Structure 1
Amino acid sequence: MEVAGRKLDNASAEFVLHCQPCLEDGREISANGFCKICKEFMCDPCIAAHKRFAISRNHVFLTKDKMPSFYMNKDKADFLPTEPCHEHTSEMIKFYCPTHDDLGCSDCVVLHHRNCKVEYLSETAKQYKESEEYETLNENIVHMETVISALNNKVKDSEAFVSENTKEEIQKLRTFRAQINLVLDTRENMLLKSMKENEIKQKEILSKLRDGIKGLKQTLAETTTDMQTTEKQLHQHFIHAKMARIRDNFKILVIQIVQSNPDSFSRSTSRITSETAIDLSTVEWTKDAELDVSCTEDPNDSWITSSALVEPGKCLLADNLNTCVTLVDINVNKVLSRSELIGYPWQVCAIPSGHAAVALPDENKRKFAKHI
């Protein structure tokens, strides 16, 4: 049923549809949409207000180009067309063609379904609710709702898993960092303790050396005085000179031994003074990492009979059974080079300027030097 006006002919201006809620307040505002649920035309402010309320938030709206072109009687709205034709937007869908399974307006029937037996939409819609197609559609909708719900639950579970996994990885990282810090702290404390103990030992040895030097100075002064006082007494002068020579030679020997072995300060607790020699029985020997000195060219097991330190970190070894000498880097446990000999080596020693001497007992005890 049309109210509040009528549709004019094509030569006249088009009938203006006004917002129905505003008309009730006495305001004439052009409608820009149509609510399919409330069957009312509305302006933009009324549409926005309509969507704010929970009860009407999900209502379906038709835009201005798709909304009906006339007012409707709400009591008969269920029997009137409410959807605009997709081809003729100014007309409403009123007919259904079973032959082409198509919906259309009056113009569509005239243009495309003139020879078809079309049905009026209101009568077809009443029968559709009892059809198998409608029942299948509802079953599909229920099935899709179940599938969507299951997918939604999987997404939630995945989100929870991702969050929990992230927390676990962060905790593992923090635990690992705490373990590293603990190891580093423990190692630092051990090194600090070892360095402090070594410092104390070094200072004790240096203190003893200082006392020894003081004793040497005193002895030297006494010798000088004796030599001066006995200068005119030739036999006394001769005796003191000889005694001073023997005593000083011994002391110089001890000092040279100390100077040529500075690393012995940290490896032993020997009493090194001007009056005592080095006692190896008091040296503390410790087992270091084992060296692998074998080579692929060796026909026999290695039998090392002698070694010599040619430079810091590099050691020259005499291998008797394999008739060769090998140069080993003791820091990285690696054989740097191997040299075949003409006999079975027994002794090896380093010589300045990058040479080494090797003793070959089986070759008439001949020795030769070879560049390292």
Structure 2
Amino acid sequence: MEVPGKQKPKKTFSVSRGSAEDFLLFCIPCDRDGARVPAKGYCSTCKEHLCDTCYKHHKKQTPSRHHILLDQDSMPTTPSVPIVKDEFDSCDDHGDEKLKFYCNDHDIFVCSVCVTLDHRLCNVEYIPKLSKHILDSEELNEIMAEMKALEDNYYSQIKRVKDEIKAISQNHDDVIKAIRQFRKEINIRLEEMEKHVVKEADNMLLKQQTKLNSISTDVQEITDKLAKRQKRLDNLIHRKCLDKLFVEMKETKKGVEEMRMKQKQYSREEVFQTVSFVKNSDIVDMLDRHKQLGELITKKASMGENVPVMKPTSTPSEDKTLNLEVVEDIDLNSSSGNTKCNITGIEVIKPDNIVVCDCSGNKNVKCYDIVQKKIVSEIKLDNSPFDVAAITDDKFVVTVPGDRSIHFMSLRNQRIVSDRKVNINEECYGIAYSQDKLVVSCNYNPGKVLVLDLQGKILQNFSGDNSLFCLPFYITVNTAGTSIYVSDCGLL
């Protein structure tokens, strides 16, 4: 809408090609052929500037001989824009009819037949009439400005994406560097532990070698003495020196008795001992429990933010407090239920769905969509479900104490589907999932916690005569899979 007393600003369109030989006024016919020639005249009929050659030919050619021509002194001083004859598209419904009309009511282009048949009561306008002042229209200015703003925003977006890619790559390099640094630290510590136990083995070897070498030396000396006495006795016997033989025999007898005592002493000494290496059970258990060096903690980063370095989250400081605010109450009673629902288990699956166990007389599992704000699916069981745990974004498990089983379920197209049932022969209540294993609490004679694989095979049973638990109900596992937390309502 125009305001009286004010003139609408004119939009200036540039027809220059930006070369070094540009002229403010140039010949339009030559420009169509790719040449930029300065204008020397103007045709008022064609509304085009002409060079000296085209100006002369314009006077001689039959079609333009009677056109009104202006010389260089009289021609307009503003650039002329080449007039291109518009060609309208053909109507899909009416053959060769052209789409020369615009229906304001339906925001579509129509032909004359369409107007007659389908748009007689609509606000229809002739396009050539509408387009006369399109170059100066506010709507064109607005859409051009909007497109320019969009273009600038997308260029900024592209730059941010490139920066994000670079930041992600740097972040990845930092994470790999941290992982390998940790591995180096572990290797150094393991080398120190290895050196300690190897040194201990070396000391044990040296101790035994020293003792055995000492025995070997003593035995060799005794053997040499025996050989010498044997030689003297043989010589005296041969020479028949009976007196000396008698004396030597008595002395040898005493020496032999001493040698026999030492021999018994050496035979009683247990010098040689075998050594074996026993693995550190704490290290073995740690390696069995942990499948990787650590975990990667991520933080969502919107476009334009720096990508955070992946590292374990720190413990919140004591001065930070959490404020809880009730957003809304969700009614999980369904029209198909006979009694008011009693929720004993709840789990989030996918981004916008909540699965709950209704342990009342309804005996069903329900899925509530927090976006649609309604129950989108429910499945009825023979016995009451108690607790639920997510395995993936669309798969979960439900405990049913009444039939001593665990039900594996999926959410497909917002519909709960029962995949299979695994019998446990235990009244299962609380359930949690961690690292391809299920952890289940059973609170009957005696209370226990079971660790199972996804086929239902019991891998570990934490129970015994002196039970760790009285009445364990709910259960959860930390993200590393190293700690199990159990609520025991039987403990005072």
TM over 0.5: no
- Indicate the structure (1 or 2) with the bigger Cα radius of gyration: 1
TM-score class, shorter-chain normalisation, is 0.3 to 0.5
Judging by fraction of residues, say which structure has more helix. Answer: 1
TM-score by length of 2: 0.31
TM-score by length of 1: 0.39
Judging by fraction of residues, say which structure has more strand. Answer: 2
Higher relative contact order (CA 8 A, sep 6+): 1
